[in-house]
Amino acid sequence: MLRLQTPLPDRFTDASEDQLDAMIVDAKAELGSDLLILGHHYQREEVYKFADSQGDSFKLARFAADNEQARHIVFLGVHFMAESADVLTKPDQHVYLPDLNAGCSMADMADLEQVEIAWEDMASVTDIEQVIPITYMNSSAALKAFVGRNGGAVCTSSNARAVLSWAFERGEKVLFFPDQHLGRNTGVQMGYELDDMVVWDPNLDWGGLTERDIKEKRFLLWKGHCSIHQRFRPEHIHAVRAENPAVSVVVHPECPHETVRLADAVGSTEYILNYVSDAAPGADIAVGTEVHMVHRLAENNPDKNVFSLDPLVCPCSTMFRIDAPHLAWTLEKLVAGEPVNRIAVDDDTSEWAKVALNRMLDIT
């Protein structure tokens, strides 16, 4: 989805690192308890260090839901995260995203029109009451609202198993979107077979499936993926183990299944953080997730050898958009009473998206 961010004034783009830090520190002091900055683990260090609360998307959703004091919530993340924060907070709390171009390619792989067409197609050949829609947190508020209206819930990589277990208590099958890999890997972890799953391609009639597929399969997985995590391949694991047989490999469940099944451990960003922290001193750990987080894990665990599973992996280009100039600009505008880049979800969408998000929070 294209979003247009206005160019910043020269005083921010030309400022030194020390000057930007001073602007941010001064603005935070001025705003005091009226301000809450939430920072995702994938953010670059120059802004991550200013976050009042840090975590993965699930943890940050809880922070947003539990906070009742801050009037201004600045989200160091991407658009769908800021939308979720707006849905979960009170009407007098406002959410801001420092750079409107900070989106998510995975979230953009499923839109409301496509999902509604898929739902209608499924309803024409199977009992739609037995299909429970589950959307990953990495999706628009409109898709979260669709799920809320149709008896489903949101999930994150931290709680996907719990949410899917909840879904199968209520129906015979799930429509899982937009990330096929998280759905597949979680299903296998739960004991389902790959034969229980098919991929729905929104660019093909009937998702590229047969009527029998739709009727018989338990998992209808949307054809979407994370552009970063899909890069981690089995050959990367074979290479690091060939060099060091004692290495431990931990990866995110957004990675392809053939990669996940070779790893020593699989889990959310929060899980990976704890896995590395709990490892024995001297451990060699190859990590399959966003490179900013890997670098931070290495810095915070100097007694271990922590490195990226793929030495050529790139940072998440949309997460990378949030930088110190944009954060300083956003905070100074709040101090001046001229807020910018507010993320506001319309009332109807917000109502149903909140139903889906609260189901997730209740489940887990």
Measured between alpha carbons, how far is 71 from 35 in angstroms, rounded to an integer?
A: 6
- For position 2, what pLDDT does the model report? 47
All residue ranges of the chain with pLDDT < 70 are 1-3, 314-319
Measured between alpha carbons, how far is 343 from 135 in angstroms, rounded to an integer?
A: 20
Question: What distances in angstroms separate CA 4 from CA 1, 82, 83, 321, one per listed residue?
Answer: 10, 16, 17, 13
Tell me, rounded to whole angstroms, the distance of Cα 5 from its chain centroid: 21
Close Cβ partners of 282 (under 8 Å, ≥ 6 residues apart): 303, 304, 305
Measured between alpha carbons, how far is 265 from 77 in angstroms, rounded to an integer?
A: 25
76 with 35: CB under 8 angstroms? no
Beta bridge partners of 192: none
Which tokens is 85 given?
């924060």
| Helix pair angle (79-88, 347-363), 10° resolution | 90
Tell me, rounded to whole angstroms, the distance of Cα 6 from its chain centroid: 25
Closest-CA residue to 8 (of 142, 81, 98, 95): 98
- For position 342, what pLDDT does the model report? 97
Burial class (CB in 10 A: 0-12, 13-18, 19+), 293: buried
Please give the angle made by the CA atoms of 135, 139 and 141, to the nearest 5 degrees: 100
Catalogue the E-assigned strands of the chain: 35-40, 53-55, 72-76, 94-96, 131-136, 153-155, 173-177, 197-200, 219-222, 248-251, 265-266, 284-288, 305-308, 342-343
Query: What's the first-to-final CA gap in the chain, in angstroms?
Result: 30
Residue type present at position 111: D
C-alpha atoms less than 13 angstroms from C-alpha of 130 in its C-beta half-sphere: 13
Domains of the chain, first to last: 10-104+318-346 (3.40.50.10800), 107-226 (3.40.50.10800), 229-308 (3.40.50.10800)
Entry pTM: 0.90
Close Cβ partners of 300 (under 8 Å, ≥ 6 residues apart): 277
Phi, psi of 89, rounded to the nearest 5 degrees = -95, 170
Which long-range contacts does 121-125 make (Cβ < 8 Å, 24+ apart)? 121/206, 121/207, 121/214, 122/175, 122/214, 122/220, 125/211, 125/214, 125/215
Measured between alpha carbons, how far is 244 from 227 in angstroms, rounded to an integer?
A: 27
Please give the angle made by the CA atoms of 9, 12 and 14, to the nearest 5 degrees: 100
Measured between alpha carbons, how far is 221 from 81 in angstroms, rounded to an integer?
A: 22
CA diameter of the chain: 63
